[in-house]
Amino acid sequence: MTDGAPRIGVTTNDPTTQTARRYAAAVEAAGGKPAWITPADLRAAGDAGTALRRLDGLLLSGGRDIDPRMYGEVLIPGIGVDVDATRYEVEVLLARAALEEDMPVLGICGGMQCLNVASGGSLHQDLSLIGVNPASHKGSGEMVYHIVRVVSASLLAHVVSGEDLQVNSSHHQAVKRPGKGAAVTASAVDGVIETIEFPASRFAIGVEWHPERMPDVKRQSRLFRALIAAARAARSGSR
């Protein structure tokens, strides 16, 4: 990638959905060029490294749940775990390759969880298991909103310019054990981990909320601009 807007891979099962189009719109508004990556694309590429070669950065989008076996646990029945094995058995490998190659990457909701599992971390299969009411993080058909407390001097604090941030929320799982190299840099008031980032990486951050659904909120859109800036810098060989 040498000319034009940075090419950002956007993971999805179906590029035609409104959900997918929101991610693409956020990338375009920030100055990037979205390139869809489906599970079929990853399998056709043969390996994750090949899939990444055409990209300057990566956006891991939200989705269903990762098979708990991928982080060394057994699926707990009756708590709403909705596994998408077809997607995540290849997408976790893609996330791992992006971290290994120091490609700029932003994980959103399930994409944050994917980043964590890719780096060796684990997940709470449902917030109820840690005494948190899942309804406080996932409404019935609508987003809920809450405050996250951002660690000062973190990448997130730099990007959003502050330490308290109102976010939307639509998840029933969360990071349990952070992966290797991952730092927790934002949490909800109830203790649920809301952001991980990888300080040793050029730009690698995962957020549990959906900034693509808040396009008019400047502090949220800065996450996409930061990804595009990092992708552009990586393409030019600078940090």
Q: Which domain does 47 fall in, by range?
A: 7-236
CA angle 70, 71, 73 (to 5 degrees): 100
Report whether 123 contacts 171 (CB < 8 A): no
Residues belonging to the active site: 109, 210, 212
Q: What is the pLDDT of residue 63?
A: 97
Domain contains 63: yes
Mean pLDDT (10-residue bins), the chain, 239 residues: 84 98 98 98 95 97 98 98 98 98 98 99 98 91 92 97 95 98 98 98 98 97 99 87
User: How far apart are alpha carbons 91 and 114 in whole angstroms?
Assistant: 8
pTM over the 0.85 mark:
yes
Q: In this structure, how many other beta carbons lie within 10 angstroms of the beta carbon of residue 81? A: 18
Domain contains 2: no
Closest CA to 220 of 115, 143, 117: 143
The CATH number covering residue 144 comes to 3.40.50.880
Domain contains 1: no
In this structure, what token pair is assigned to residue 147?
Answer: 């405050």
Closest CA to 192 of 113, 88, 84: 113
Domain count, the chain: 1
Domain contains 84: yes
